[in-house]
């Protein structure tokens, strides 16, 4: 009998502890619903209130930390509820202090300490300070995201001690602007959303068979001809018969516009990496300069999606044009990396081409796969000579990888695993977890048209980029990236619907530790964050809201 009472007591005690822990977690998420989830959060009693004015005090001359502080000043003042002054805060009623901390080793790490009178942001440098600002921003009311928020909104954050640092260095989002052209304001809006969730790389896919979207002054026909197609597919490419909309489509970014994007991203600690496709996905080049094909004839910018047999010939003129293009790309984009594509290059034309066959023999190559390897390695030498590195899709492994190339593994994880085992840096972006152009609901009758596949939010969130690697091999994984291909995405509203919140889930995959991840917890925080997305006028997919209401009684 005594044993039964003891077991009953222990069970009741266990339940009470469980309920208490659940209550503490709920309270933490209510007061601190941060995405990505920080490494360490310690809630404290009280709140810090900005009031009518706040002083931002800099205890450093670091220019990048000043940039982070200026972002905070602008953000606070845009609410219309508070004036922020950068200066000395000795006599200030409330102040935000930026300081350098020598014990913080990670470039993007930060410590955020909020007390009732003072917010202290400590970091090694500007990136960490900037991400602390984004965390502080998420602690403010969601209405603060509006340019001018309601005068009744109180700028107040809970007292908390946070230490945080990212799991991966590369936390990327790819936007395909070649299949459908998107205006500058939309690209900037995406940069703003990336900023909020600590994504730090914008990969712009600028060229493809269906359009060339970057001004190249030495070769103006790339845009005067290559930037425009006669029409686009109406419906899906697999429809029989295939239909077209009969509407010309195109557009391109001037070099000044691209510099504006680069600067806008730079102010938000985001690197912009351009992609110039080669040697496949280049029919827009051949439309402008048909002499660079294996067989000289008239080509058009493609109106069809998919893989095309028309590719650049391995003649010297092709390399000369690409070197001219990249020379201008270097002047626009200061990024460490230049993406050169390298994917989906059929070898049909090369196998028929006298020039390419002579090159195979002259260079002592085994086949057309080794010819592509030669092509990529030659372009890498040119890029390396300008103190840059190439990124290529995982097809660049075929025929022999270029010595310093970074592999972007998209056809699954196999290419990334192979490259990591060869001691090559890798960005994991497998389509089963990271392709944001896939359907996100099984109810396709009520979903916009997508390319194919099914990638729900929980699948995205479940991804672990190093799961199949040893700890040593995992060191070569630079990070992850979500890709938004736009064959079937023609408007900003549709693009936002496909990207968000799945790109936000990837932001947490890239930042937070694997052992911290919990999908139910993420959905609860995302539900609170959805008010912030509403304030930013983001047309995000709302499937997760219904799943929470149906499965989680907290709402």
Q: Which of 77, 344, 398, 458 is catalytic?
A: 344
DSSP output for 64-125: HHHHHHHHHHHHHHHTSS-EEEES--TT-SSEEEEEE-TT--STT-EEEEE-SSEEEEEESS
Q: Identify whether the C-beta of residue 409 lies closer than 8 Å to the C-beta of residue 429.
A: yes
DSSP string, 439-487: BS-S-GGGS---SS-B--HHHHHT--TTTTS-HHHHTTEEEEEEEE--T
Distance CA(526)–CA(457), nearest Å, equals 11
Does the active-site annotation cover 219? no
Classify residue 241 by burial, with Cβ atoms within 10 Å: 0-12, 13-18, 19+.
Answer: exposed
Would you give the distance in Å from CA 121 to the centre of its chain? 25
The one catalytic residue in 205, 219, 281, 339 is 281
What is the distance between the terminal CA atoms of the chain, rounded to a whole angstrom?
Answer: 42
d(CA 227, CA 250): 5
Largest CA distance in the chain: 94
Note if 443 is an active site residue.
no
DSSP state of 290: G
From the list 57, 208, 271, 496, the catalytic residue is 208
Rounded distance, CA 249 to CA 550, Å? 42
Where do the H-state alpha helices sit in 294-413?
316-332, 348-352, 354-362, 368-385
Active site residue 208: yes
Q: Would you say 90 and 118 are in contact if contact means Cβ atoms under 8 Å apart?
A: no
Catalytically active residues, by annotation = 208, 281, 344
């Amino acid at each position: 009998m005594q044993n039964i009472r003891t077991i009953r007591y222990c069970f009741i005690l266990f339940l009470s502890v469980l309920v208490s822990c659940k209550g503490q977690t709920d309270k933490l998420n209510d007061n601190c619903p941060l995405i990505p989830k920080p490494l360490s959060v310690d809630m404290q009693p009280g709140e810090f209130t900005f009031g009518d004015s706040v002083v931002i005090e800099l205890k450093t001359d670091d220019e990048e930390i000043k940039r982070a502080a200026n972002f905070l000043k602008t953000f606070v003042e845009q609410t219309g509820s508070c004036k922020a002054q950068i200066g000395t805060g000795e006599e200030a009623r409330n102040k935000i202090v930026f300081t350098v901390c020598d014990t913080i080793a990670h470039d993007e790490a930060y410590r955020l300490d909020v007390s009732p009178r003072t917010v202290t942001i400590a970091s090694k440098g500007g990136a960490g300070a900037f991400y602390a600002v984004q965390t502080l921003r998420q602690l403010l009311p969601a209405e603060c995201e509006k340019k001018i928020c309601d005068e009744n909104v109180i700028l107040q954050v809970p007292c908390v001690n946070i230490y945080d640092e990212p799991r991966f260095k590369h936390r990327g989002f790819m936007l395909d602007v070649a299949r459908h052209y998107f205006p500058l304001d939309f690209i900037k809006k995406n940069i703003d959303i990336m900023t909020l969730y600590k994504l730090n790389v914008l990969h712009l896919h600028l060229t493809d068979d269906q359009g060339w979207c970057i001004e190249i002054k030495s070769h103006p026909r790339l845009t005067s001809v290559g930037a425009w197609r006669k029409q686009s597919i109406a419906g899906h490419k697999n429809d029989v018969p295939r239909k077209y909309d009969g509407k010309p489509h195109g557009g391109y970014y001037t070099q000044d516009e691209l510099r504006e994007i680069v600067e806008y991203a730079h102010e938000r600690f985001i690197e912009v990496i351009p992609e110039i496709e080669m040697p496949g996905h280049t029919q827009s080049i051949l439309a402008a300069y048909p002499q660079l094909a294996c067989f000289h004839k008239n080509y058009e910018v493609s109106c069809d999606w998919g893989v095309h047999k028309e590719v650049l010939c391995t003649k010297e003129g092709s390399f000369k044009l690409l070197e001219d293009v990249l020379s201008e790309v270097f002047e626009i984009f200061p990024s460490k990396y230049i993406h050169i594509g390298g994917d989906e290059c059929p070898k049909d034309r090369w196998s028929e081409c006298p020039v390419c066959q002579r090159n195979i023999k002259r260079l002592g190559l085994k086949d057309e796969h080794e010819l592509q390897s030669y092509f990529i390695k030659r372009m890498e030498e040119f890029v390396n000579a300008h103190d840059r590195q190439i990124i290529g899709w995982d097809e660049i492994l075929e025929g022999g990888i270029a010595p310093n190339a970074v592999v972007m593994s998209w056809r699954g994880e196999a290419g990334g695993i192979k490259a990591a085992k060869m001691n090559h840096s890798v960005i994991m972006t497998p389509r089963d977890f990271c392709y944001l152009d896939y359907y996100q609901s099984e109810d396709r009758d009520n979903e916009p048209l997508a390319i194919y596949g099914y990638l729900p939010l929980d699948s995205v969130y479940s991804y672990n980029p190093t799961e199949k690697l040893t700890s040593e091999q995992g060191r070569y994984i630079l990070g992850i990236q979500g890709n938004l291909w736009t064959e079937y995405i023609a408007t900003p509203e549709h693009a936002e619907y496909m990207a968000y919140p799945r790109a936000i889930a990837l932001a947490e995959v890239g930042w937070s530790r694997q052992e911290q991840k919990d999908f139910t917890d993420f959905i609860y925080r995302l539900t609170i964050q959805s008010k912030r997305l509403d304030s930013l006028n983001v047309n995000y997919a709302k499937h997760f809201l219904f799943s929470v209401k149906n499965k989680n009684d907290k709402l």
